[in-house]
Structure 1
Amino acid sequence: MPRRHIHVTGAAEAPLRTALRALRTRLDVPGDFPPEVLAEAQAAAKAPRLPDQDATDLALFTIDPPTSVDLDQAMHLARRTGGGFRVHYAIADVAAFVTPGGALDAEAHRRVTTLYLPDGRVPLHPPLLSEGAASLLPEQVTPALLWRIDLDADGRTEATDVRRALVRSRAKLDYAGVQRQIDAGTAEEPLALLKDIGLLREALERERGGISLNVPEQEVVEREGAYFLEYRAPLPADGWNAQISLLTGMAAADLMTAAGTGILRTLPTAPDGAVARLRRTAKALGIDWPHHVPYAEVIRSLDPSRPAHAAFLQECTTLLRGAGYTVFEDGRVPDPAVHAAVAAAYTHCTAPLRRLVDRYAGELCLAAVAGEEPPAWTREALAVLPQEMADGTRRANSAERECVDLVEAALLKDRVGELFDARVVDVNDNEPTAGTVQLEDPAIVARIESDTGLPLGERIRVRLTRADPGSAKVLFAPA
Structure 2
Amino acid sequence: MPQRRSHVAPSAAQTELAAALAALRESLDAPTDFPAAVVAEAEATKAATPELDLRDIPFATLDPLGSRDLDQAFHLERDGSGFAVRYAIADVPGFVAPGGEVDTEARRRGQTLYAADGTIPLHPKILSEDRASLLADVDRPALVWTFALDSSGTVTCFRLERALVRSRAQLDYVSAQAALDRGEGGPAALLPEIGALRIEQEKIRGGASLNLPDEEVTRAADGSYAIERRHPLPVEEWNAQLSLMTGMAAASLMLDAGTGILRTMPQPDEKAFDAFRHQTEALGRPWTTGRYGDYLRDLDRADPMTLPVLEAAATLFRGAGYVTFDGSAPSDAQQAAIAAPYAHATAPLRRLVDRWSLEICLAVSEDRDVPGWVRESLPDLPALMQSSGQRASRLDSATINCVEAALLTPFVGRTVEATVIEIRGERATVQLADPAVTASASVPAGTVPGGRVSLRLVSTDVARGEIEFAI
Q: TM-score range by the shorter chain?
A: 0.7 to 0.9
Q: Which residue of 2 aligns with 1:168?
A: 166
Q: Which runs of 5+ in 2 are unaligned?
A: none
Distance 2:200 2:151 in 1: 13
CA contact (8 A) 2:116 2:219 kept: no
What TM-score comes out, normalization by structure 1 length? 0.86
Identity %: 43
Q: Give CA deviations for 1:142-185 in whole Å, capped at 9, x if unaligned.
A: 11101111111111111110011111111111122222332322
Q: Which runs of 5+ in 1 are unaligned?
A: 429-433
Higher relative contact order (CA 8 A, sep 6+): 2
2:368 maps to 1:385:
no
Matches within 5 A, 1:313-328: 313=310, 316-317=313-314, 319-328=316-325
More displaced stretch, 34-43 vs 227-236: 227-236
2:206 maps to 1:209:
yes
In 2 relative to 1, CA 120–73 (structure 1 residues): closer, same or farther, beyond 3 Å? same
In 2 relative to 1, CA 469–127 (structure 1 residues): closer, same or farther, beyond 3 Å? same
> 182, 192, 199: which one pairs with 2:189?
192
2:215 maps to 1:218:
yes
Q: Which residue of 2 aligns with 1:117?
A: 115
Q: CA RMSD in A?
A: 3.2
> 146, 149, 172: which one pairs with 2:144?
146
CA contact (8 A) 2:68 2:133 kept: yes
Q: Give CA deviations for 1:116-164 in whole Å, capped at 9, x if unaligned.
A: 2233221101111100000000111111101111111111111110011
CA contact (8 A) 1:357 1:385 kept: yes
TM-aligned CA deviation for residue 75 of structure 1: 0.7
Amino acid at match of 1:300: R
Amino acid at match of 2:38: V
> 438, 449, 467: which one pairs with 2:460?
467
2:36 maps to 1:35:
yes
More displaced stretch, 175-184 vs 225-234: 225-234
In 2 relative to 1, CA 276–30 (structure 1 residues): closer, same or farther, beyond 3 Å? farther
Distance 1:221 1:256 in 2: 38
Q: Which residue of 2 aligns with 1:439?
A: 431
Amino acid at match of 2:429: V
2:343 maps to 1:347:
yes
In 2 relative to 1, CA 310–139 (structure 1 residues): closer, same or farther, beyond 3 Å? farther
CA contact (8 A) 2:83 2:151 kept: yes
CA contact (8 A) 1:58 1:76 kept: yes
| Length, aligned pairs only | 461
Distance 1:424 1:51 in 2: 52
2:409 maps to 1:413:
yes
TM-aligned CA deviation for residue 370 of structure 1: 2.2
Amino acid at match of 1:38: V
Distance 2:235 2:25 in 1: 33
In 2 relative to 1, CA 294–414 (structure 1 residues): closer, same or farther, beyond 3 Å? farther
> 354, 359, 371: which one pairs with 1:358?
354
Amino acid at match of 1:232: R
TM-aligned CA deviation for residue 272 of structure 1: 5.6
More displaced stretch, 53-62 vs 268-277: 268-277
Amino acid at match of 1:465: V
In 2 relative to 1, CA 170–227 (structure 1 residues): closer, same or farther, beyond 3 Å? closer
In 2 relative to 1, CA 9–416 (structure 1 residues): closer, same or farther, beyond 3 Å? closer
Distance 2:308 2:442 in 1: 22
CA contact (8 A) 1:252 1:346 kept: yes
